[in-house]
Structures are given as C-alpha cells and as structure tokens.
Amino acid sequence: MLEPGDVLAEPILNQQGMTMLGAGTALTENHITRLKKLRIQTAIITTVDSPGVQLPGEAGSQNAANANGLRLSFLNPNDKQEMRKRIRNSLVGLADSEFGFGRPSTPELEQQFHRVFRSVLHEITNRQEVIDGLILLHQSDPYLLDHSFHVTAYSAILGIANQYSSTQMTDLCIGALLYDIGMTELPTHTLNRTGTLTEPDREAMLRHPEIGYRMIREMKGVSPRSALCALQHHERYNGTGYPSRLKHGEIDEFAEIVAIADTYHALISRRNYRLAYTPGEAIEYLLAVGDRYFSLDMIQTYLRHISIYPLASKVKLSNGQLGIVSSLDPSVVHRPVVRIIQEADGTAVEKPYEVNLMRTTNLVISGIVEGSGRDDPYM
C-alpha cells in the first residue's frame, strides 16, 4: 500500500535491529521496491504536514549530504549514531566471525590473519567517512554490505600472504570495503534487472567504477590506492575489462586482489538470475580464466591460502554421501580428504572411512551442509 512520497513515522529496522530507513524519510519508488524485495511487511507512515516531520534536504534534516557527498537516509541524529555504532561493532567482530573463521588455509596463517585483520579493522573504525560509506552500502542494498565484508576478508588473507605492511593492509581493506560504492548511485531497476541489461542500464553499470572512485577520493585520509580498487576492479588481465581496458601491469595489485575476491564470492552467492556455484566450481572457473581475466600466479597464490572447505565442515559429495573434511592440501583446496559418515541412501556409517578427492576424481563436493559451522555473529 506504500506510495512514493509517503513519510516514515518510525524507522524501519532489519531482523538484527539495524536501521534501514530512518524516521522522517520520504519514500521513493526505489525505496519501496527495496522494501518489497527484502520482504519488509509493515511500515508506519505519517502525512507530510504532520508536526515535527521534515523531508530530505529541508533545514535541520540529517538526510543532507555529508561533507564528502554521501547522502544518508537519516532524520534523527541518534539513528545515525546508532548505525555508526553497529557498523563499527560489526567491523571489529569481522575477523572472528564466519566471514573470517576457517578461511585461511593453515592454522599458522589463520592465527596471523586474526591478529592482523583484527588490528586493521579496529583502525578503520576510526575513519568516520569510511563508516558512513558502509552505511550507504547497507541502505542502498544490504547485499552490497554483506558482499563487501566477504570480499574484504578474502582480500585480507591474500594481503597477509603477500606480507603487506600494516599501512598496505589498511589501504587494501578500505578499498575492499568500499570498492562497489559506486553501485549506490545506480537506479534500482538496473540493480534488480534479472535479464539482459538495456542499453541505458548497461551504460549506467559501466559508470559505477568511476563514480565509486570519485566518492572514495573525496574521503579525507583515504589512500588513492584504496580508490583504485573501485576504479579498476572490472579491468581484466587481457585488456577486455572496463572502464579503461587496462592490461596486466597497468592494473594496481590491490585492485586485482579485490577483483579476484569479488568474482569468487559473487560466483558462490545465489543471485536473482542464477543459482550459486559450489566453491569447487568457482575455483575451476578462476583457474580457467587465469592469464585472461586475472593473473594466474595471483589466482594460484589466492587458492593456496584460502580454505573453501574448512576442517571439520560437513559436506555432501556428488554421489549423495555425507562426510567431514578431515585434511586439506593447500595446493588443491577444492579436493580435500573427506571422512564419510553417511552413505548416499541415508545409512549411517558405523566405521567412518576416508575418501581422498585428489585420487577419486569421479567425485566432487556438491555443497556444504548448513549448520555444520559456527553461528555467524554478524547481522
């Protein structure tokens, strides 16, 4: 029943209590489309001329653009401060959440990852304009924020593997967090389109790296290399990417790391127009495009340090058997050793036995069984 122009009398919260739209927000068609997509059932609205209600851009409104040009949907300053607090808390806990837990390929790397990543994220929480950028991602589409968190964790692992300094790690992680911020300026119908993009939609999509670059460059104290992650994350090794058709050697290393992490997580995520790839299928894809879309050396380094099937995770094999990942070979992360605990017909195995997927090439892991890992403390 919502219509463009309706004004929220109370904020709309997600299931985790985070403010999606603040009280006083005048709803647009884009807002309403997003709320329907997220299956928000109820919104309490008021009339425009109700006492105490201000529309975006009016005097005293917190919806006006920040100094760096970010336009956040808040009327009440307390809502904005609460959102900043929640984003900071989420960042601090990111290293120890499901986003980072079990991702590094070895216990030694995981220990280093948690120490370094935790320190970097804590430093980033002091960058208010970066925090506001993350709020903007969340308000535009919660998937963008969730995706950027995953991309940041994957990028950080590769940064640690490359022995980056603390300053380099900070610049890389800020770039990974905000690389897709230009998407917040795209029309909702472009973001939600499930079929072939129209020419105007395609032109809008091609502009988002440059838009994101400008938005990040306007943030005080943020490195130009962080902004390059936004500008170049769609460039490709063989020069077929956009917006500048850069080739290998012309693409910043941070941007290529973010691009690989972005591609991997996008593949294993379900989208409006396709089902999710399995992690093994995503790895096969990355290897297939080595030295075409990305540096093969960079991909191999990435795969040696990422654990796509963490130890002790429960997995389902392509023949229907269930098992527990018992050991890993960092050089072939998508073919671990699996301890079979249930046969394909559902019969429990009294004496579990191991199947080495490196040797049993007719079997692959078809998926991770939900509920076999730690609970995600994030949103």
Handedness of CA 117, 120, 126, 128 (dihedral sign): negative
Per-residue b or e along 126-163, where b marks 16 or more CB atoms closer than 10 Å to that residue's CB: ebebbbbbbbbbbbbbbbbbbbbbbbbbbbbbbbbbee
Higher pLDDT, 199 or 322: 322
Banded model confidence at residue 236, pLDDT cuts 50, 70, 90? very high
Q: Residue 264's pLDDT is what?
A: 93
Residue 65 has pLDDT above 50, yes or no: no
CB of 344 within 8 A of CB of 321? yes
pTM of the model: 0.73
Taking the mean position of all CA atoms in its chain, how far away is CA 278? 17
CB of 213 within 8 A of CB of 231? yes
Residues 156-160: what's their mean pLDDT? Answer: 94
Banded model confidence at residue 192, pLDDT cuts 50, 70, 90? low
Residue 102 has pLDDT above 80, yes or no: no
CB atoms closer than 10 angstroms to residue 355: 18
Residues 3-7: what's their mean pLDDT? Answer: 81
Q: Residue 195's pLDDT is what?
A: 66
Residues 101-106: what's their mean pLDDT? Answer: 70
Residues 159-185: what's their mean pLDDT? Answer: 96
Higher pLDDT, 246 or 186: 246
CB of 336 within 8 A of CB of 325? yes
Residues 241-266: what's their mean pLDDT? Answer: 96
Using the structure block, give the residue that is written with the tokens 């079997």: 363
Residues 95-100: what's their mean pLDDT? Answer: 68
Identity (one letter) of the amino acid at 115?
R
Q: Find the Cα–Cα–Cα–Cα dihedral 282, 231, 115, 371, rounded to 10°.
A: -30
**Percentage above 70 pLDDT, the chain:** 83
Q: pLDDT tens digits, residue range 308-364?
A: 887 788 999 999 999 999 987 777 778 889 999 999 999 999 999 999 999 998 998
Residue 266 has pLDDT above 60, yes or no: yes
